[in-house]
Amino acid sequence: MEIKKNKEDLKIEHDFFYYVMLFFVLAFAGWIWEVLLSYFTRHAFINRGVYRGPYLPIYGVGGVLLCLLLRSLRKRPLTVFLLSMAVCSVLEYLTSFYLERHWGIRWWDYSGHFLNISGRICLLGAVTFGLGGMALVCFLLPFYEKLYLKLPGKWRILLCLLFLAVFVADATYSAMNPNVGQGISF
Looking at residue 92, its amino acid is E
* Residue pLDDT, tens place only, 138-180: 999 999 999 999 999 999 999 999 999 999 999 999 999 888 8
**Residue 163, domain member (yes or no):** yes
When divided into structural domains, the chain yields a total of 1
* Residue pLDDT, tens place only, 8-57: 444 556 889 999 999 999 999 999 999 999 899 888 888 888 899 999 99
Q: Which helix (H) or strand (E) holds 6?
A: none
The pLDDT of residue 186:
61
CA-closest candidate to residue 63, choices 127, 1, 137: 137
User: Which residues constitute the domain of residue 144?
Assistant: 12-176
> What mean pLDDT comes out for the span 2-9?
45
**Residue 5, domain member (yes or no):** no
**Residue 1, domain member (yes or no):** no
**Residue 85, domain member (yes or no):** yes
**Residue 184, domain member (yes or no):** no
Does pTM surpass 0.75?
yes
128-157 exposure pattern, b = at least 16 Cβ within 10 A, e = fewer: bbbebbbebbbebbeebbeebeeeeeeebb
**Residue 97, domain member (yes or no):** yes
**Residue 36, domain member (yes or no):** yes
- From residue 167, how far is each of 25, 38, 52, 133, 172 by CA, in Å? 13, 23, 9, 24, 8
The pLDDT of residue 49:
83
The pLDDT of residue 6:
45
CA-closest candidate to residue 22, choices 160, 150, 124, 154: 160
The pLDDT of residue 9:
43
**Residue 44, domain member (yes or no):** yes
What does the alpha-carbon distance between residue 82 and residue 76 come to, in Å, rounded to a whole number? 10
The beta-strand segments (E) located in the chain are 2-5, 10-13
* Residue pLDDT, tens place only, 72-85: 999 999 999 999 99
What does the alpha-carbon distance between residue 92 and residue 125 come to, in Å, rounded to a whole number? 9
